[in-house]
Amino acid sequence: MTEEDPIPRLAVLGAGVMGVSITTLALGQGVPVTLIETDPAKRADAPARIARELRTAQLMGVHPGTPRAELTTGSSPADCAGAEVVIEAITEDAGLKSAVLTEVSAVTGQDTALVTNTSSIPVDELAARLPRPESLLGVHFMNPSYLIRTVEVIRGTKSSPEAVSSVRRLLTALGRRGVFVGDGPGFVTSRVLHRMINDAARVVQEGRASAEDVDTLMQDCLGHRTGPLRTADLIGIDNLVDSLRVLHERTGDEGCRPCELLLEKVRAGEHGRKSGQGFYTYTGVVS
């Protein structure tokens, strides 16, 4: 960034897995963040979680030598005032997302770009509920954001050139490559990946292979970096089920109806890495 192209002022809505991951990426790249979380316990715990993620990133050789930017926390969308880009990273629920984005629209300027990190809900569906639909784009960051350098960018039919320009500038500051794709349920990554994970879970549910065997075959034979079921644990099985429901409702594809094994894990609180138990058991990494 230069004096002519300064670091954008960024706000992130939600201190869940993805909100913390995106904030970690930004701080590590020298971009200050205002992190908004309405839940007092989550808000209080967020700085420690982010500090752990920053240490992990540093140990993995990510952004060495870059001074960490300042983190500010807030309790209300009103704390987004003054931000040039606001990234929404809350629950995969269209009503909740559009409601919080509408609140943000009321306290930010006409030039503020609004970004949804939805994994499945069409951008135009959310934009239609906003007072400034032209301000909204989708940017699908993957977890962990500080390791994955490519992001999926979804331009809605009403997304303005100014909003697109602001998002491009933010991605440059974050050191991320944006791949622009068309709008629609699940875009590209979730439309392909989430159905594959659902099928992988069905194979385990049917007793034909263990989770370890499924992942080993997908890694060693087909080059999937982590395997679909380890990926499910990283996404969060509860988040995955929410996304699959969005895809099933909006496409009618029965392959996207969450399988019973995934539903059982959600009911049992086995949400993956963040809960310490999913398809695999995790120790010392719960966030």
Rounded to whole angstroms, how far apart are CA atoms 72 and 282? 30
1 token code pair: 């960034």
Whether the Cβ atoms of residue 33 and residue 46 lie closer than 8 Å to each other: no
144: preceding bond cis by omega (within 30 degrees): yes
Provide the annotated active-site residues: 140
Backbone φ, ψ for residue 181 (5° rounding): -130, 165
Whether the Cβ atoms of residue 76 and residue 27 lie closer than 8 Å to each other: no
Residues 193, 247, 174, CA angle at the centre, nearest 5°? 55
Residues 6+ apart with CB under 8 A from 67: 30
Residues 6+ apart with CB under 8 A from 238: 266, 271
Whether the Cβ atoms of residue 178 and residue 167 lie closer than 8 Å to each other: yes
**What's the CA dihedral at 243, 245, 251, 257 to 10 degrees?**
120
Please state, as a whole number, how many other Cβ atoms lie within 10 Å of the Cβ of residue 260.
11
